[in-house]
Homo-oligomer: A and B are copies of this chain.
Amino acid sequence: MANMTDCEASMATDEQLQEMAGKLRVHSLRMTTAAGSGHPTTCLSAAEIMSVLFFSVLAKNDEFILSKGHAAPILWAAFAEAGLIARDELLNLRKIDSVLEGHPTRRMPLIKVASGSLGQGLNAGVGMALAKKLAHAPGRVFVLQGDGETAEGSVWEAADCASGSRLDNLTVIVDANRLGQSGPTRHGHDLAAYERKFRAFGWATAVVAGHDVPALQKALAGPRPGDKPLAVIARTFKGKGVSFLEDKEGWHGKTLNEKELHAALAEIGPADITLPSGYSPSRAAFTFTDYPCDEYAPTDVVSTRVAYGRALLALGGANEHVVAIDGDVKNSTMAEDFFKAFPGRSFEAYIAEQNMAGMAMGFSAMGFRPYVATFAAFLTRAHDFIRMAQYSGSNITFVGSHAGISIGADGPSQMGLEDLSLFLSMPEAVVLYPSDAVSCARLVKETARSGGISYLRTTRDQTPVLYGNSEEFPIGGLKVLRRSPRDQALIIAAGITLHEALKAHAALKNNGIAARVVDLYSLRPLPEAELSRHAGECGNRVVVAEDHYGGAIADLVARVVGKVTGLYVKEIPRSGKSGELLALMQIDHAAIAAACLTLVH
């Protein structure tokens, strides 16, 4: 029944679509009662919208995102009625062995973008719509969002980007059912308020009765507005179709008991209709093409952010599905080389980091491979999106420049000091921290080769090249930069502190102390066996130095080797020169050498 053409699918009559809306209601109520938890009333407000979308509007090249993720039951119901999953799967909603989770995640193979943290669907939709433009691909992108979630600023970041990019292939439907979780939304049924906002942000708008099938048909399948994205603002009622639920407060996350269910189904009436659907989502994959990495001379002094810029350029030259997204700092992250070379694949998100990350989810779902860069500090702005990207199964590399106190005089607001904690708290994220240009170039390639979420931390300051061009940097590895057969201490570092570690090594050597120095460029996966071996060979006297709060790297190492001396940023820093700050915060060469001496003596 799936994979009907646009034409076949749109042949359903208004009466049939109305009946299908009833059937979707019945499924949603039955599923949530069986599960004993969930959000039935938000499904009911969206029943006509979902029926019209799935059984009249959506064609095979179209994309659909359920931004109001708590309405997952009606999405699963629509999938079942569209023939994409078996109907008898539905009653497994929320069970531990079912892919039909409480909110959509990547476990359900038809889901391209997880939802459930509200106000993210439109950002992903913008990414998909941009990807379609880039690929000259037909079809439209539809995002169904709640009225409550329009309060999220990320929605307006997406709205701004969509109109600025003239995304006439993007439609958002606002299911304005008046009620949030804990009470009425700010605008209630003042639909003109939503219309004013979307218009001010450059969108075409249509206000419709959201339970009126012909009106929805006209708005969603009708003639399209010039070169603008379209917002269809639908006046709906939460719990629509069941008298004791409709427009009532107190039913947000509540399911019906068996008796209530019986009464509700009686009100909704017969639900035997079947209809074909033109919707048939598929996930596009990115295929990596190899290329030669940039080469550096041993005498070069190059910041890793500059090396990142060049590496991205080389990657993009060989891989036409690589896209770059930046937040008005491309001349700092150095993504600007790519922007100049490949303007069509470069996306200026302006100062809107949530949209930057959300767009990347959309691009990834369409087979593109996004590289998203800003100051490491400002990735915290996108934390919730990055978190959700892992549940979306996205392939995205985030790049945080200006890591740590070594940026100096700009002060703490600009210092990325929590970025490693952020990415290390995600179970599957690859976390890389190159210390020189050669390793940075190679690690950029490794991220492109690997799937999932990866993070690359770069440094503002210029640093000398440490490696020859033939060196390999596999994910999960480390490098030993200084060693001797009689090493008395092990210094582990990455980024700016690795260069301090090398200075400490020299100072210790002058004092007759042999220390081993390890470049721990791969924080996850962690080279556990190698770390353990080196620690053992150095008498388990281990110093870890990092330009980050809280001892994130020290903790990783300690898990493997036991107790370590962790040198990290232990208090709130301030403006100053890079070297002054490294000394003040006790992560410079002197502090490293002193820590080694303490361990050795």
Contacts and interface: CB of A to CB of B under 8 A. Distances in A.
Interface size range on A against B: 35 or more
A198 to B, nearest CB: 8
Interface string A396-413: 000000000000111111
Contact of A409 (B102, B199, B378, B559): B102
Contacts of A326: 182
B354 A153 contact: yes
A131 to B, nearest CB: 20
B584 A96 contact: yes
Interface in A26-46: 35-38
A552 to B, nearest CB: 8
B102 A153 contact: no
B183 A101 contact: no
A348 B154 CA distance: 18
A148 interface: yes
B96 A580 contact: yes
A16 interface: no
Contact of A185 (B102, B252, B350, B409): B350
Contacts of A96: 574-577, 580-581, 584
A381 B378 contact: no
Interface in A11-35: 35
B422 A38 contact: no
B350 A95 contact: no
A90 to B, nearest CB: 14
A105 interface: yes
A273 interface: no
14 contacts: A38-B409, A96-B581, A103-B413, A105-B411, A116-B410, A152-B381, A153-B153, A153-B355, A377-B384, A380-B384, A383-B383, A391-B413, A422-B425, A425-B552
Given A102-B414, A153-B154, A383-B422, 7 more contacts: A107-B574, A116-B411, A151-B352, A181-B328, A185-B350, A421-B421, A427-B570
